[in-house]
Amino acid sequence: MICRKIYLRSSVRQSICRWLQSPATVCSGKIIQSKVHFFRNYTTPFCSYSKSNASFTLRGCSFSTQAALDLPAGGVIDIPLAQTGEGIAECELLKWFVQEGDQVEEFQPLCEVQSDKATIEITSRYKGKISQILHVPGSIVKVGETLLKIGVDEIPNPTETSDASEKMTSLESDFSGSTDISSVPEKTKIGGVSSTPAVRNLAKQYGLDISDVPATGKDGRILKEDVINYAMQKGLINETPACAQQKHSEVSPLIGGGYEDRTLQLRGYQRAMVKSMTLAAKIPHFYYVEEMNCDALVELKKSFQNENSDPEIKHTFLPVLIKSLSMALTTHPMLNSRFNEESYEVLLKGSHNIGIAMATPNGLVVPNIKNVQSLSILEITKELSRLQKFAKINKLSPDDISGGTITLSNIGGIGGKFGSPLINSPEVAIIAMGRIQKIPHFAENGNVYPASVMTINVAADHRVLDGATVARFCNDWKVFLEKPDLLLLHTR
């Protein structure tokens, strides 16, 4: 304990390190015992000596560990997965931007993780060298769990140093009559080993301590075969995976024609959908179905396209639907609210943050366009395009998918006349829109004419909204859609 407290003082630590790193240190004058005690935490090693009746020359004192990767004397810092958002308990590791042994700078991206809500880059708080990567892409990492370890020049503050020193283990070795103490005994367990994250994960699956596995790779690197052979020696497996795979390939064509069941782990947005739909199942829904004549909307879209001079902009029906929805919400604010079940309070939201349900390769996600009431149709078009682009490449930010007040589900873009959506809690309403199709309609004089008709289905939280409120809202929205020129009268 005394040695540890002395070592924690920066000036003493630097003096010890310089003394240990000198090419040759001769211990003369007072007699020094030939027994050397090595103290090691995850920062740097040092020696302590006591008097005896023998003298010797100390040629150098150092540790050479594969996991430390020639790290400086400052220390190794654990980099945990920080809190990425409210209520987030775990994230999926998508990919690494660094490898073991890489030199990194402050704020340099280390990896990319995905929570239930967004994809986030984790950056480095320190300048140093990557010592050890603890997880492989695809792993589920708990918040607070260590992602990797970085060797730094100096420990940032005493608190982190003292935390690391609590993990200190002492190593003792006898060198009777020996004058060379340049290495640690071969069987000593060190903080890490040289291996890939995939090999560590394989050892973890077999319940093995990776430091116990004999290494046969170059420079003492542990290979996949080393883990498998060690597991066989321990009796954990009876045959190598290669043999098992070969036998399986010989048998599988004879059983069921090669068809097998598969288990898929739900990740990212799919996990978020499980949670949100479980909450939605507790909400008493009621549905209101209406048909909208979109002839004027079709003509308006053609006009936008004809006058479009920007090849980056593609005009669709959706921005006009979003803007007209916002206009109707202005006179029916109860549909743009949130319900607090515990306090029996309804929060009327001032901003119209309209969410758009999007099907992506990574699952269903609902980013929202902020402050629609203050945006033009062109601005909505550009923002919608940005959200669709980022959703496709899994780059939506937490702000993009949080703070929604009402949701649109454009199921008609894929197919179907209409759907029965589930509310995205704590919102109180969601609207599913079917595809626009040509159907025969009767005019007031009895003549039949083709009309472009879209069916919408409003799902409402019956604890907050009643049928009359939703019907009046739909009537106003229908007027803006069937006569889009009225939008000009109400646009601020």
The backbone torsions φ and ψ at residue 395, rounded to the nearest 5 degrees and listed phi first, read -120, 20
The amino acid at residue 59 is R
- 363 forms beta bridges with 360
Evaluate whether 13 touches 148 at the Cβ level (below 8 Å).
no
Evaluate whether 372 touches 336 at the Cβ level (below 8 Å).
no
Query: 462 catalytic, yes or no?
Result: yes
Cis upstream peptide for 156 (omega within 30°): no
Query: 399 catalytic, yes or no?
Result: no
- 128 forms beta bridges with 104, 152
Q: Which residue has the tokens 């020359």?
A: 57
**Cα four-point dihedral sign 410, 416, 418, 422:** negative
Q: Which residue has the tokens 């990425």?
A: 84
- Residues 277 and 145: their CA atoms lie apart, in Å, by 28
Q: Which of 310, 399, 466, 490 is catalytic?
A: 466
Q: Which of 462, 476, 485, 490 is catalytic?
A: 462
Neighbours of 50 (CB within 10 A): 9
Q: Which residue has the tokens 């000593």?
A: 188
Report which of 281, 110, 266, 138 is spatially closest to residue 197, judged by C-alpha positions. Answer: 138
Neighbours of 22 (CB within 10 A): 12
Beta strands in 337-418 (DSSP E): 337-340, 345-348, 354-356, 358-360, 363-365, 368-369, 406-409
Evaluate whether 61 touches 181 at the Cβ level (below 8 Å).
yes
CB-facing half-sphere around the CA of 295: CA atoms within 13 A:
8
**Residue 287 tokens, joined:** 């549905």
Query: So which residues are the catalytic ones?
Result: 462, 466
